[in-house]
Amino acid sequence: MKQPRDTFDEIRKIAGQIHPEQVRWRRHLHAHPELSTQEFETTAFLTKQLRTLGARVVPLRKMKTGVIAELTGHCPGPVVAIRSDIDALPICEKSGVPFASKITGRMHACGHDMHMATVLGAVAVLSQMRERFSGTVRFIFQPAEEVPPGGARPMIAEGALKNVKVIFGLHVDPTLATGKISLRDGVTMASVCDFDLIIHGSGGHAARPHTTVDSITCAAEVVDSIQKIVSREIDPILPAAITFGRIEGGTARNVIADRVTLTGTARSLSPELARRLPALIRRTTAGICKARGAKFEMKEIARYPVLSNHARVNRLLASNYEQLFGPGKIETTPVVLGGEDFACYLEKVPGSMFRLGVMNKKIKADKPWHSDRFIADEQALIFGTSLFCAAVVDVLGKDR
């Protein structure tokens, strides 16, 4: 809805004032990355900052990393949630920035440091605007987004979505110029089924293959045949992909391996197809193994649903962004087969993940996600924080 003009003026003013502190938070987090489920120092840093900003930190029952915190308005009311992921990647940084990772082999190469700083910024701004809203803003700093089975469902089990009316998330986008955001209604990112196939044969001497069941040749047939699932059993109009990222088996060139492990992922933009793909993989593998005298087991490591943004929430985000920064700054998020466990929250409550532009070629901030030279334009923090705050006040405005 249309909010008072002074609301947006206040948000932009405070966001500008806290920006230098945001940059310090972001650079500290960038210099001290931690891998999934190992984010202990990150959790401690976030907890300290949240308490300093006046937020109440909610104790977690089982999770060792991650933070849930709350900020209350001037009177009771609904709950709105904002989510950030917090984990880094096993990458050796080569960005050359002065605040580069101090830990060899770890890097915030997907922008989660920017996400954390953006959401911390929202806490800082909203803590000075409590008279503008009623109810509660819940801030979810989620671990383990980068690895299956992900941290979203454990956070939900900790009560992250209790009484939540709507949830907002973001992801930085190095293909989108700073100052712009992008949105898409409905299906935006793929369902994911991460799995392992273990082929069990019978080993022996390379010179006597007839006395064995060769798990490597069987695995090769499995890989080849499973690729035909997408090309010959799936409607060509429906995007899907099955990829094997690793094959492991065998001990020596003259020993026929008795076991091979295939590590794979199956992705789709259709919830119905997402349910079918694991069964098709099992059926295909079972047929080949039976023909070759082998056995197999399939272990599902994780399943993420399709990420589908709610149109009503997108309209709210778009309206507030235009009122903050004017027209012509919103683009359409492309559909991708990448997965994101923010989808688990959207299964439960209405919400949306918007893309935040961080591209600035002048500072070489144009490298793709997961690049060892990934750089993000820190000016984008103001835009992301301002949008979160305006959206929260829109939903929790004191006149609701």
Given a cut of 80, is residue 315 above it in pLDDT?
yes
In terms of domains, do 113 and 243 share one? no
In terms of domains, do 64 and 163 share one? yes
Q: CATH no. for residue 300?
A: 3.30.70.360
Give the C-alpha separation, 71 to 332, whole Å.
31
**DSSP H helical segments within the chain, as ranges?**
5-31, 40-52, 112-126, 152-157, 215-233, 271-292, 311-325, 342-346, 380-396
pLDDT-based confidence at 398, cuts 50/70/90? Answer: low
Average pLDDT of 115-137?
Answer: 97
Return the half-sphere exposure (C-beta side, CA atoms, 13 A cut-off) of residue 236.
2
Average pLDDT of 330-349?
Answer: 97
Given a cut of 70, is residue 156 above it in pLDDT?
yes
Q: CATH no. for residue 178?
A: 3.40.630.10
The rounded percent of the chain whose pLDDT value lies above 90 is 98
pLDDT value, residue 5: 85
In terms of domains, do 274 and 361 share one? no
Give the C-alpha separation, 209 to 213, whole Å.
7
Give the Å distances, CA to CA, from 349 to 150, 253, 307: 18, 54, 12
Read off the pTM.
0.94
Contact partners, residue 128, CB within 8 Å, separation at least 6: 14
Average pLDDT of 142-152?
Answer: 96
Average pLDDT of 48-69?
Answer: 98
Given a cut of 60, is residue 68 above it in pLDDT?
yes
188, β-bridge pairs: none
Single out the residue in 304, 332, 354 at which a domain terminates.
304
Give the C-alpha separation, 188 to 172, whole Å.
15
Burial class of residue 34, CB neighbours in 10 A (0-12, 13-18, 19+):
buried
176, 374, 121, 56 alpha-carbon torsion, rounded to 10°: 130
Single out the residue in 250, 284, 304 at which a domain terminates.
304
Burial class of residue 48, CB neighbours in 10 A (0-12, 13-18, 19+):
exposed
In terms of domains, do 11 and 92 share one? yes
Contact partners, residue 265, CB within 8 Å, separation at least 6: 192, 193, 194, 195, 242, 243, 245
In terms of domains, do 29 and 130 share one? yes
In terms of domains, do 45 and 175 share one? yes
Residue 355, domain extent: 5-188+306-396
In terms of domains, do 87 and 164 share one? yes
187, β-bridge pairs: 308
The rounded percent of the chain whose pLDDT value lies above 70 is 99
pLDDT digits (tens, 9 = 90+) for 104-113: 999 999 999 9
In terms of domains, do 37 and 181 share one? yes
Amino acid present at 149: P
pLDDT digits (tens, 9 = 90+) for 276-303: 999 999 999 999 999 999 999 999 999 9
For the chain, how many structural domains are there in total? 2
Contact partners, residue 195, CB within 8 Å, separation at least 6: 264, 265, 266, 278, 281, 298, 299, 300, 301
pLDDT value, residue 2: 64
In terms of domains, do 388 and 286 share one? no
Average pLDDT of 56-84?
Answer: 97
> How do strand 240-249 and strand 67-72 relate by DSSP bridges?
unpaired
Average pLDDT of 44-62?
Answer: 98
> How do strand 255-256 and strand 204-205 relate by DSSP bridges?
antiparallel
In terms of domains, do 51 and 76 share one? yes
pLDDT value, residue 400: 47
- What are the two backbone dihedrals, phi and then psi, of residue 196, each rounded to the nearest 5 degrees? -120, 135
In terms of domains, do 107 and 140 share one? yes
Q: How many helices (H) and strands (E) does the chain have?
A: 9, 16
Query: Is the omega angle on the peptide bond into residue 154 within 30 degrees of 0, that is, cis?
Result: no
Paired tokens of 244: 């094997």
Residue whose entry in the numeric block shows the structure tokens 């030279």: 373
Average pLDDT of 25-39?
Answer: 98
Single out the residue in 304, 327, 362 at which a domain terminates.
304
pLDDT value, residue 3: 77
In terms of domains, do 226 and 258 share one? yes
